């Protein structure tokens, strides 16, 4: 954000996470809570891994599933599964006090690898291969990953809309 002329402060605070069937719905109560708590503009990122063969699981529960069973747990669920298609979704939520929330959503399609590969990134990066690549997110340099990832795409959408929102 700094390279685009915006200054952010990272406020690491737990907030009530409303669970719903989509990230777009999940993020709005968090935005509303944070604006009421801090009384200033807030931005929240909510992302998830959606695996087609697992009917979208872990989806909105991605963070919890990662903390409990991690990449190994997802790979275990995928043993013997031929359809390894998956997608990462990212919603960047933004809200000003007294205004409606705005959500920028982006998707990165890909597949689940057969094993963990790579040391970069975080979360499910070692098991997600984006479409058009033979490497996992964890093997791709951060600058390149930011151009193709769900989060990078969502930030680009958000930045395009931000002047209108302010």
Q: What is the CATH number of the domain that holds 146?
A: 3.90.950.10
Domain span at residue 113 reads: 2-165
Has 72 been annotated as catalytic? Answer: no
The model's pLDDT over 67-122, given as tens digits with 9 standing for 90+, comes to 999 999 999 999 999 999 999 999 999 999 999 999 999 999 999 999 999 999 99
Q: pLDDT tens digit string along 8-54?
A: 899 888 887 788 889 999 999 999 999 999 999 999 999 999 999 99
Question: How many separate domains does the chain show?
Answer: 1
Residue 89 bridge partners (DSSP): 48, 107
How many Cα atoms are found within 13 Å in the side-chain-facing hemisphere of 115? 1
Catalytic pick from 45, 46, 83, 125? 46
Alpha helices in 2-149, H assignment, sequence order: 23-38, 62-68, 70-77, 142-148
* pLDDT greater than 90 at residue 135: yes
Q: Is the dihedral of CA 132, 137, 138, 144 positive or negative?
A: positive
In angstroms, how far is CA 160 from the centroid of its own chain? 18
Q: pTM for the full model?
A: 0.92
């Amino acid at each position: 954000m700094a390279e685009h002329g915006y200054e952010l402060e990272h406020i690491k605070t737990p907030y009530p996470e409303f669970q719903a069937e989509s990230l777009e719905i999940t993020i709005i109560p968090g935005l509303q809570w944070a604006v009421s708590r801090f009384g200033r503009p807030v931005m929240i990122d909510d992302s998830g891994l959606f695996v087609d063969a697992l009917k979208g699981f872990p989806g909105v529960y991605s963070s919890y599933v990662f903390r409990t069973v991690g990449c190994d747990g997802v790979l275990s669920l995928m043993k013997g599964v031929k359809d390894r298609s998956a997608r990462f979704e990212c919603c960047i939520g933004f809200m000003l006090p007294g205004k409606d929330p705005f959500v920028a959503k982006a998707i990165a399609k890909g597949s689940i690898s057969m094993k963990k590969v790579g040391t970069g990134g975080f979360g499910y990066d070692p098991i997600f291969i984006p479409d058009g690549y033979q490497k996992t997110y964890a093997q791709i340099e951060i600058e390149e990953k930011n151009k193709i990832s769900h989060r990078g795409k969502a930030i680009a959408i958000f930045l395009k809309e931000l002047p209108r929102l302010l």
